[in-house]
Chain A
Amino acid sequence: MAKEIERTIGTTMETSIYVEQQRTGDTFPQITMCTMRDGAFVAMQPANSGNIVFAGVSQGTSVISRMVGADYAEMMELLTRAVNNRTRQRNYFRLLNNLLEGLISEDDFYKEIEEKEDEYVIEEMETPSPERLRHALILSQGIKDVQNSEDLSSLFSFSSEATDHELKKIEADGRL
């Protein structure tokens, strides 16, 4: 669908640019094109203008989410969550190292984890929507050691059952 939109917009845009160029004699404007799962938009800045013009088409909310920054805010939130969960892992292994080095006793080790659970223990707390899981998969491309669905659900505190369920659907569809 997105490719279809891209093709249509591309043709329309090129035609209008050509007509505009013939009329004004301007050089080609600077154009940015962005295609998404359910839509596409273009941003165009004529060479002799400070204004930027947007045009787009969408069957869902992805274009609007991108343009108003909702995607960005959600990705920031997911990344923050991922950093905090990796910090919990680091805290756990740091404490384990203290135990192995003999700096704390075994009793102290378990007591510390029990008393400050949020510092050391990862918890699943969200059933991700398909859209959020899609964002998590996009982000996971650049994050080390995300090898399986358990890693993904641990990193983003997603329900592992729901993550597996959604990933199976994505795999069957063959696309995000």
Chain B
Amino acid sequence: MAVYNNIGDTIEGEAVDFDGRLIRSQGAKKHPLTKKTMKLFTTDRNSHAVVRKAGVEPTDEEVKAATAHFHRDVDDKVTADALSVYTDLKAKVRPETIHGEGASGQHGTNFATVNNHTIATVKMPLPNLMKKLGMSNNALTTVNDAD
């Protein structure tokens, strides 16, 4: 078991739990490395994803090489302010809002369990970068906010 938090760090599992202050469904997208059509979710702030059932190494040599840096052991975890979470297209993903321990103050956190193939990667949040560059991001909106 290990915790990863650098941009690009990735976990892969046959079952994965993930959470975040916000979870956004982003539709269908081909995973950039496995080329598999999957459902994409992104999370915002205080996000985690942890392998619950170990990932299976791909048999295709090209995909195997491209995903050699993935972490696939049970309890391997990524934690960051932004994650991309690709799940199997047919996976049932139903985020629940939870309050109390692990949730911040008056806001809850959204939590989801996926019992299918899932790949989660640490991404770079943009608002801080844009601010640093003196650029505006005031067109940003938040949706699916937790209660």
Enumerate chain A interface residues (CB-CB to B < 8 A): 88-89, 92-93, 110, 113-114, 117, 120-124, 137-138, 140-154, 159-161, 164, 167-168, 170-171, 174-176
In the bound complex, what is the Cα–Cα distance between A116 and B84 (angstroms)?
24
Interface size band for B: 35 or more
* A150 and B37 contact, CB distance less than 8 A: no
Enumerate chain B interface residues (CB-CB to A < 8 A): 7-8, 24, 26-30, 32-33, 37, 40, 42, 44, 82, 84, 89-90, 121, 123-127, 129-130, 132-133, 135-137, 139-141, 143
| Most chain A CB within a 10 A radius of its CB, from B44, B126, B129 | B126
* A121 and B29 contact, CB distance less than 8 A: yes
Q: How near does chain A come to B108, taking the closest CB pair, in angstroms? A: 19
* B123 and A149 contact, CB distance less than 8 A: yes
Q: How near does chain B come to A84, taking the closest CB pair, in angstroms? A: 13
* A160 and B140 contact, CB distance less than 8 A: no
List 14 A–B pairs whose Cβ atoms lie within 8 Å, in order of A's numbering. A121-B30, A122-B28, A124-B32, A137-B133, A138-B135, A141-B135, A147-B125, A148-B82, A149-B7, A150-B40, A151-B126, A164-B8, A168-B7, A174-B133
* B123 and A148 contact, CB distance less than 8 A: yes
* A145 and B143 contact, CB distance less than 8 A: yes
